[in-house]
Structure 1
Amino acid sequence: MATEEDIAWFRSTFHPIPKPQLPDDSVEYSVYHIPSPAPAVIDEAAETRARLLEVQRTAADLTKDLLKDYIWQREAFRLEISKEDGITSLQGHTNYGDSIEDEWLIVYILRELTKRHEDIWVKVGDSDGEFLLIEAAGTLPAWLEPDVAENRVWIHQGELRIIKPKQETKRTVTEKITLQEARKVIQEEPGRLLHSSIIQEEAFYRLRNYPRQINENLHSAIVTIPRKVAFLLHQKPAYISPSVEAFYIRDPIALRPLRAKDASGLVFQPDDLVTVSVRFTRVGYAQLKSQDFPVPSTWIGNLPSTDDQEAYTRAETGMKLACGFEMLLYDPQNQDKASVREMKLLLEDVDTGDEKLPTNEEIDKTWDKREDDEKWLDINFEDLDRELKGKGQARGTEAGSFGDAGAQANLQRIVARFEEFLNDNSAGVDGADFIDDFGSDSDVDEEDDEEVSSDGEDKDASFDEEEFSRMMKEMMGMPSASGQDSSRTAPIRNRVEELDSKLEEDDTEQIQDLTRQMEAELRGTGVLDLHRRQQQLSEKEGTSKEKTAETSGLVDDLENEDENVNINLAKNLLESLQGQAGTSGPAGNMLSMLNLPIPKDDRR
């Protein structure tokens, strides 16, 4: 039997297994049944499970209606019954890859579920944490820091709810809550649930165009591809995403079959090509088009002439897509993927005659011929600069000429918020503090603090930049600014004199000794010799005129010192821009915030 000493030792040495960190580009979501008030039923667990099964069926119907032809970048939205720490819930995890719109589509679906089931509460987060709070960072109360945000942010009846601390304050809150505590607050303390229309509007800003935005996440293009590839995509259009990703993240192992001397070993040979319409995700199509991919030796001679630019572009895009399918099926690391196993079974049915490849006549008569505009891909610096300043429509450009309407609104919003952040002169050591404005939706502690002023500033630790500047000018013997109130600087000057007197009494000998040492060291370098440069000039010049001209030049150099500094600043700024190599950086960001055009580097 374990003794108290054994139990104490176990508690001191046992450390719980930390919760695994969510992978990048992934979103995790949980759906809970939390009726308020708590139900008085005999079997609460059975009631909860029955309600969650209803939610699961609603989610299936909703995705069937909204996402009939939708293609996910990596993984799809899904909900499964789960039980953890005695709590039954619906759990889901989706890797959305580079398609951030997939993440927001999931948020939209979850929000719609809460509107259809009034006793459902949803919690969602990604690798960045509570990303809904990140979207609304400029409107959050001061106490809501990332360290204490876990289990506080919920979606209920389509609205954002935040659990407030027990005692609200303007100071930092260290109180963390568990999932069980959050459920208890929801059921028993509804007064602690903060609902702010301002926070909600910012947090759900990206959902403003849904569900219309769903179809705009896809792009249809006419491409020329092998007939087998067209057959697979006609069977299941979702095969496009893993094939594009295989092409986008290719490695030397995956490229081996394409480097063969002939195309006889390829699964998708380029000798039987058809021109069809293929539906991509926008991210996938951009990945395919943006890659520079030399024509493999197995495809040389199978592309049309560049004289017909449209036919060549379609064939080149189709070649990249076919190579992506080839690499997807060949690479050993993909063999366990469900999509790869499905494609191999379909191709086996074709080889055995159980399935027939589509004929040209069938493709021409029954297959879709849709082709979307690619203007959203054409973005140059002038368009970007114009849209960031909100001047796109003023120039008579059409909506969608730069990306789309959503992209324009997002860019203008980002720049406006960034300028607000940079122009916040009240920022302290913790960064810029945004103004909290919740109106009647937020209950803020209005109690006065003896040591903290009404604007949250600690008077003892405050710093007056203007008074400090004036004080330094007077200490260096420089005239203060015109119109300066001498009575205002008198207390500061008195404090400086008081500090100086104390230093003279305590450390006079040490300071004098240190000064002598520094002077001796500097004198050895010749820095303190004010006439040294003049003497060197006199020795080099032969006539008095030349000496006078050189001395005059030195005076001009001193007078133009500020101008030289400006030239050096411009030179350093241009070198910094060149070092950015077209990417973002401090110099480019600074020029953008000053609304100055970034000069182009035309050197070849």
Structure 2
Amino acid sequence: MATRANLDEGAGDPAPEHDGFEKQLPDNCVEYLLFILDSQLDARKQLSQIESIRRSAIQLTNTLTKDYIWQKDELNLELKNEQGLVYLHGITDYSDAVEDEWLIVYILRELTKSHPNLWVRAFDTDGEFLLIEAANVLPKWLNPEIDHNRAWVHEGKLFIIPAKDDAGPISRTLSLPDAVEILKSKPDVLVHSTFIEAEAFYRLEKYPAQIADSTHHSLVTIPRKVAHVLNSLPKSIAPAVEAFYLRDAIAMKRVISPPGPLTFPPEDLVTVSVKFSKVLFAQLRSQRFEAPPAWQAVLQRGQKEASSTDAEKTTARLNLGMELTCGFEILAANAEKSKSRVVRELAITLEDLAEDGDDALPSNEEIKSWKDTNRDDSEAWMDINFEEFERELEGKRGKESQGAASGFGDVNTQSDLRKIVSRFEAFLNDDDAGVDGAELDDMDVDDDDDDSDEDSEFEDKDVSFDEDEFARMMREMMGLPSAEAKDPAEAKGKKAAKPRDTGPAPINEEDEEIKKLTSEFEAELNQHGALKLDPTTEKKPRVKDSSASAESTGTSSKDVTQQEDGEEEDSEEEVDIDYNLAKNLLESFKSQAGMAGPTGNLLGMMGFQLPRDEDDGEEEEEEDDNGGPSRQGKPGR
């Protein structure tokens, strides 16, 4: 039996540590360290100030997040004494809600503004995520290999421990005690850049308004018992949705074939407004879930009783309530053993209901008196309008969406899109970039030169790669004209001018075998016409047609042939088209059947818009008098 005395059992247990292994932060978690750095404080006064800061952090969190729904964990702090350091430590699992991580950063930064001796470091699974946000403006020396323990928040500002000071270079791998010692003894060497700080704290500009904007209210049809639980414990919505969202076959047995009566049977249904976070609502709304046996009759009856105008809304509210109730059903199975304080409070509430009976449930009049009981927010923020998205990227936002508060018309989303586009344009317009593209940092350069020097000493100069010879062989294999000089005497002179080896080159049997296989491979490709890349051989039918037309006009076949040859030569001189490349491009575009594809996207980026090929359906094959196929219909493109 759960009691209120055991609510805190298991909460805040430190993660086990293993000697010899580096501690790895779990996925989707943010870790934060709070230090009081004042050389004039003794140990007792330092502990007193640390406890004062812990209380201030809890008070500030409760004030800012009174109506906020955390996805999983909220900000938590505990005293820690490790490596000779005494500080406050906390880890928060934000799951799929990244905004929870930034809300914690916002709370900690606000906390440093009111405590001048407070220094805060925050990092997550990716590392120093504040520096990752500011990667576009970081100096070249500050790369992921050496940024550990270098970013600190103090008095609302971001400070960075440099790689060197007046006394010389600072260790590349900076440990936590070394970093704290530098903060204490050398605060003047710290780097504070307004550009880095603006980029690192960019996502904090929308706070504290973002706390209220992250919620979503929706009308759902649920059992009265679930409505009572949500009114008593609004934050229990998060673990209930998570239980349904992460359900498995074992958890679903509790809903499909329960061993006993259901904790939340689909009886005495009421329609109330439930407050979600936007992430939780999206997780619940996006699920495809087949109704369990206990709910099938309820859904059928609800669809029949609904009017034709409100049938869609009624069904949606009932389905959403069914999914939410199933989440609470799964959650209640092991609520007493949960590590979450909110879930253990749910177990106590259910025990109180079991003792008091249905008399403790709220009446319809009491439900109407609840706050925002009829609030039903728009779900337009879940819809993606790709046309509006394209306009946002192009900076052509229409006047009709100027006042919109959802979708890509949202102020925060629009600002993020513009930031992405501006960064990409800055990358493309970087005049400092060389011909090789992005510049290499020190971490990208291989410092291991011993092996390369050793290999160069024993390099076989006789078998070194000859680019010119390789290019000549490839052109001959592919049937292309040779790029050598046309004058035999000139070519012979160039060949004679090349330096010769002093000794005879040894005959390599492998080289002879490779040449033999190459010639056989080339002969087979030529036999099947794979290397015939010159389309001029297919122009003979034009001469035949010209001669036939010459007989009807009285012009000699010889004159027409000479005329056609002249036109062909002139056209080849004027237009230099890779026939095979053009043919392959058109066939690839045709295979897209009007849909999006690589060829269409590539040509669109180059400014070409090809029409759809809709004439193939009108072409038919017929046999002529000799049995040969002939084409009728419109000519292909």
Name the structure 1 match of 2:217. Answer: 220
Match of 1:438 in 2: none
Shift in Å, 1:94: 0.3
Equivalent residue runs for 1:28-427 within 5 Å: 28-35=31-38, 38-39=39-40, 44-166=42-164, 175-260=172-257, 265-303=261-299, 304-305=302-303, 307=308, 308-330=311-333, 335=338, 337-353=340-356, 356-369=360-373, 370-394=375-399, 396-402=401-407, 404-421=410-427
Q: Deviations over 1:384-430 (max 9, x none)?
A: 33333333345544332315321221133224324544665866899
CA 1:195–1:545 in 2, change beyond 3 Å: closer, same or farther? closer
What are the superposed Cα offsets for residues 519-540 of structure 1, whole Å, 9 maximum, x if unpaired? 4323323538868859x9xxxx
- 1:225-272 per-residue CA deviation (whole Å, 9 max, x = no partner) reads 1111111111110000000001111101111132239x9721111121
Residues 519/574 of structure 1: CA separation in 2 closer, same or farther (3 Å cut): farther
Q: Contact conserved, 1:329 with 1:335, CA < 8 A, in 2?
A: no
Q: Secondary structure at the match of 2:121?
A: strand
Q: How many equivalent residue pairs?
A: 505
Local SS of the residue matching 1:302:
helix
| 8 A contact 1:71–1:241 mirrored in 2 | yes
Amino acid at match of 1:524: E
How many angstroms does 1:119 deviate by? 1.0
Aligned-partner Cα distance in 1 for 2:143–2:496:
40
Letter in 2 for 1:62: L
Comparing 44-53 with 159-168, greater Cα deviation is found at: 159-168
| Aligned-pair CA distance for 1:326 | 0.9
8 Å CA contact retained: 2:109, 2:153? yes
Aligned equivalents of 1:593, 1:131: Cα separation in 2: 34
User: Kindly tell me: are residues 312 and 50 of structure 1, through their superposed partners in 2, closer, same or farther at Cα, counting changes over 3 Å?
Assistant: same
Q: Secondary structure at the match of 2:89?
A: strand
Shift of 1:142: 0.3
Q: Is the aligned partner of 1:26 residue 2:24?
A: no
8 Å CA contact 2:118, 2:154 repeated in 1: yes
Give, in angstroms, the shift of residue 19 of structure 1: 3.0
SS in 2 for 1:366: coil
Residues of 1 paired with 2:147 and 2:432: CA distance?
25
SS of 2:331's partner is: helix
Alpha-carbon separation, structure 1, partners of 2:112 and 2:333: 44
The residue aligned with 2:438 is: 432
8 A contact 1:24–1:127 mirrored in 2: yes
How far the C-alpha of 1:96 sits from its partner, in A, is: 0.5
Structure 1 SS opposite 2:293: coil
> Are the counterparts in 2 of residues 138 and 434 from structure 1 also a CA contact under 8 Å?
no
Deviation string, structure 1 residues 72-104 (Cα, Å, up to 9, x no partner): 000011122211112111111100010000000
Amino acid at match of 2:367: I
Distance 2:209 2:174 in 1: 37
1:62 to partner: Cα distance: 1.1
SS at match of 1:92: strand
What is the CA RMSD across the aligned residues, in angstroms?
A: 4.4
Taking structure 2 as the reference length, the TM-score comes to 0.69
Report the Cα offset of residue 60 of structure 1: 2.0
CA separation in 2, counterparts of 1:294 and 1:34?
57
Shift of 1:125: 0.3
The answer to whether the 8 Å contact 1:74/1:95 transfers is yes
- How is 1:500-539 mapped onto 2 (pairs within 5 angstroms)? 501-502=498-499, 504-505=500-501, 509=505, 517-527=513-523, 533=529
Please tell me whether the aligned partners of residues 165 and 192 of structure 1 are also in contact (alpha carbons under 8 angstroms).
no
Structure 2: how far apart are the matches of 1:244 and 1:558?
61
Match of 2:523, SS state, is coil
Q: Mark the CA change 1:131 to 1:336 in structure 2 (over 3 Å): closer, same or farther.
A: closer
CA contact (8 A) 1:288 1:317 kept: yes
Q: Assess if the C-alpha contact under 8 Å between 1:132 and 1:204 holds in 2.
A: yes
Kindly indicate whether the alpha-carbon contact (under 8 Å) linking 2:163 and 2:171 is maintained by their aligned counterparts in 1: no
So what's the TM-score if we normalise by structure 1? 0.73
CA 559–513 in structure 1, closer or farther in 2 if over 3 Å, else same: farther
Tell me if structure 2 keeps the 8 A contact 1:218–1:280: yes
| Structure 2: runs of 5+ lacking an equivalent | 1-17, 442-466, 476-480, 485-493, 533-539, 546-563, 613-637
AA at the equivalent of 2:369: K
State which structure, 1 or 2, has the greater radius of gyration over its C-alpha atoms: 2
CA contact (8 A) 1:387 1:411 kept: yes
Instruction: Kindly indicate whether the alpha-carbon contact (under 8 Å) linking 2:116 and 2:155 is maintained by their aligned counterparts in 1.
Output: yes
Q: Distance in 1 between matches of 2:339 and 2:525?
A: 79
Letter in 2 for 1:192: V
Query: What is the one-letter code of the residue matched to 1:26?
Result: C
Kept in 1: contact 2:335–2:344 (CA 8 A): no
Query: Aligned-pair distance for 1:501?
Result: 3.3
- Which residue of 2 is the match for residue 567 of structure 1? 586
After superposition, where does 1:440-459 map in structure 2 within 5 Å?
A: none
Aligned sequence identity (%) = 39
Q: Is the 8 A contact 1:253 1:331 kept in 2?
A: no
Give, in whole Å, the separation in 2 of the partners of 1:185 and 1:577: 57
Per mean C-alpha deviation after superposition, the further-off stretch among 136-145 and 51-60 is: 51-60
| Cα pair 2:164 2:170 within 8 Å, conserved | no
The DSSP-based 3-state class of the residue aligned with 1:194 is coil
Give the Cα–Cα distance (whole angstroms) in 1 for the partners of residues 190 and 90 of structure 2: 25
Which runs of no fewer than 5 residues in structure 1 stay unpaired? Answer: 1-14, 436-467, 480-496, 537-543, 579-585
CA contact (8 A) 1:144 1:173 kept: no
What code does the residue aligned with 1:564 have? Answer: K
- 2:588, 2:599 within 8 Å by CA — same for their partners in 1? no
- Once the two structures are TM-superposed, the CA of residue 146 in structure 1 deviates from its matched residue by 1.1
Q: Provide the secondary structure at the position in 2 that maps to 1:313.
A: helix
CA distance in 2, matches of 1:147, 1:187: 24
Which stretch shows the higher mean deviation, 151-160 or 379-388? Answer: 379-388
What is the CA distance between 1:587 and its match in structure 2? 9.6
Where 1:121 maps in the other structure, the secondary structure is strand
Deviates more, 1:98-107 or 1:145-154: 145-154
Q: Any idea what the Cα deviations from partners look like across 1:115-141, whole Å, max 9, x if unmatched?
A: 001111000000000000110001000
Instruction: Tell me the amino acid that sits aligned with residue 141 of structure 1.
Output: P
Tell me if structure 2 keeps the 8 A contact 1:135–1:203: yes
> One-letter code of the match for 1:198?
F
Structure 1 residue 332, shift from structure 2 partner: 8.8
1: CA distance, partners of 2:27 / 2:246: 16
- The alpha-carbon deviation at position 366 of structure 1 amounts to 3.5
Distance 2:351 2:437 in 1: 61
